[in-house]
Amino acid sequence: MQSAREFNFDGLVGPSHNYAGLSFGNVASFSNVKSASNPREAALQGLAKMRELAARGFAQAVMPPQARPNFRLLRRIGFTGTDAEVLARAYRESPVILACAYSASPMWTANAATVSPSADTFDGRAHFTAANLNNKLHRSEEHLQSTRTLRALFADERHFAVHQALPPTSAFGDEGAANHTRFCATHGGKGVEFFTYGRVEFDPSAPAPKKYPARQTLEASQAIARLHGLDSARTVFASQNPDVIDQGVFHNDVIAVGNGNVLFYHEQAFHDEGAVLNALRNALAGVETELTAIRVASQVVPVGDAVASYLFNSQLLTKPDGTMALVIPQECQENRAVARYLEELVASGGPVDELIHFDLRQSMRNGGGPACLRLRVALTGAESAAMHQGVIMTEALYETLVAWVGKYYRDHLEPKDLADPQLALECSAALEELSRILGLPGLYDLT
Ligand SMILES: NCCC[C@H](NC(=O)CCC(=O)O)C(=O)O
């Protein structure tokens, strides 16, 4: 067995970060619709998290933002003319579609792809499948750039396979790693891959939410397991609890998180809690690992508090001494039930003995917490040497990126600003310079 480290690839917030209320079923996105955003602060909050975790010795990398606005989308649906004319007409005729073309959402890289480390796959390569995100117009084209970016970062086909997104239809609704967790004894050893879904396309009798959409289907999760060549004895599929989707749990990572042998979850997360725990225990026995389940009861933290605080959208990170830290948003400290629970958790003598909190308010206002902002990629030493090195977070890269943000980012953006042709020019100049900083020429197709 090779040793491996888990890298967290955090999405760098783009220069047009904004609140457009585009995600029906995501409570925060809906309630902050059309409020003013601060792209500069958003980017700096994300960078501060990356810097701190890198400084603590966690393997940390940055995933570049996507080009905005998406002129290809706007032109394809009939907005013609110069770039400035396209923007003016889209703003006049359909400001919501202009907002979709300007969506901030690629910053949540947990939705960029599903990743299976090489220890789990049939050919011993790390496999990635870009998520089609086809439940929402504003996210449905992210996979094009995600595939391009992943292929630029993980170009060496001896080590990596980057699959294109699943067919973009509701039968294959796929939201990437937000509905996927891997359990293992060590990152380099064989693991158990755990897929959660909200709906089954071809079984109308399967549980499904009534009010809000289920974004992930079983069919999509199964397709990814097939593409990655996972061993069925070490793969578990589980239905989310449709009732909690209807309370704002639009991705499973809003109500559960796993790391190593630990599953930290809310008692209402799954349709059949007992069956999920049994399936995980059995699969983990095959890799000589025992599941540690940290279950949070509704009486202690009601689902509403979990959604409001993003307690479970935390990162559970293994520290060098084997204990775990929970990376939480500041909102957890501000919610009385959650703050009290967390105090008990770290004092309990269990695996989690430290809390690391960050102010991620700009992201949280769109429904993205610490876990949404990162894509986990466990890599062996040879694999991490083979990936593109320019995205690895260092103090020097942090400082360069802070200066870059200072040069290009506005500190105030309102819906009407999306029609300003100057903003589009600022975005493309910023990304052109960023691709130089990261050593990724040709990262963007800016034609
Ligand atoms: N993993 C967190 C994803 C949050 C994301 N929010 C958004 O797209 C909101 C965008 C807006 O409303 O402007 C979503 O719901 O998919």
Per-residue pLDDT of the chain (447 residues; tens, 9 = 90+): 789 999 999 999 999 999 999 999 998 988 888 899 999 999 999 999 999 999 999 999 999 999 999 999 999 999 999 999 999 999 999 999 999 999 999 999 999 999 999 999 999 999 999 999 999 999 999 999 999 999 999 999 999 999 999 999 999 999 999 999 999 999 999 999 999 999 999 999 999 999 999 999 999 999 999 999 999 999 999 999 999 999 999 999 999 999 999 999 999 999 999 999 999 999 999 999 999 999 999 999 999 999 999 999 999 999 999 999 999 999 999 999 999 999 999 999 999 999 999 999 999 999 999 999 999 999 999 999 999 999 999 999 999 999 999 999 999 999 999 999 999 999 999 999 999 999 999 999 865
Can you name the residues that pair with 315 across neighbouring β-strands?
327
* Structural domain contains residue 286: no
Residue-number span of the structural domain to which 419 is assigned: 10-108+373-447
* Structural domain contains residue 316: no
Residue 123 in tokens: 């050919």
* Structural domain contains residue 61: yes
Ligand 1 pocket list (CB less than 6 A): 19-23, 26, 29, 103-105, 108, 110-111, 139, 178, 250-251, 366-368, 372
- Per-residue pLDDT, 31: 87
* Structural domain contains residue 86: yes
Tell me the catalytic residues: 175, 251, 372
Whole-angstrom distance, CA of residue 79 vs CA of residue 102: 15
* Structural domain contains residue 383: yes
3-state SS assignment for residue 248: coil
Residues in the annotated binding site for substrate: 20-29, 111, 138-139, 215, 253, 366
DSSP 8-class letter at 202: T
- Per-residue pLDDT, 447: 59
Spacing, Cα 231 to ligand 1 middle (Å): 32
Q: The whole model's pTM is what?
A: 0.98
Spacing, Cα 420 to ligand 1 middle (Å): 23
* Structural domain contains residue 38: yes
- Per-residue pLDDT, 34: 84
- Per-residue pLDDT, 2: 81
Whole-angstrom distance, CA of residue 216 vs CA of residue 171: 9
DSSP 8-class letter at 313: S
* Structural domain contains residue 225: no
Pairing label, strands 324-329, 180-184: unpaired
Is the CB of residue 174 less than 8 Å from the CB of residue 133? Answer: yes
Whole-angstrom distance, CA of residue 60 vs CA of residue 100: 29
Kindly report whether the peptide bond that precedes residue 69 is cis, defined as omega within 30 degrees of 0.
Answer: yes
Spacing, Cα 111 to ligand 1 middle (Å): 10
CATH number at residue 426: 3.75.10.20
Pairing label, strands 235-239, 59-63: unpaired
Picking from 440, 445, 441, 434, the residue whose alpha carbon sits closest to that of residue 389 is 440
Pairing label, strands 315-318, 324-329: antiparallel
* Structural domain contains residue 58: yes
* Pocket mutation for ligand 1, best pick of 9, 18, 19, 23 (most atoms within 8 Å of C-beta): 23
> Could you give the number of structural domains in the chain?
1
Spacing, Cα 164 to ligand 1 middle (Å): 22
CA 90 to mean position of chain CA atoms: 29
Please give the number of the atom of ligand 1 that sits closest to the Cα of 371: 1
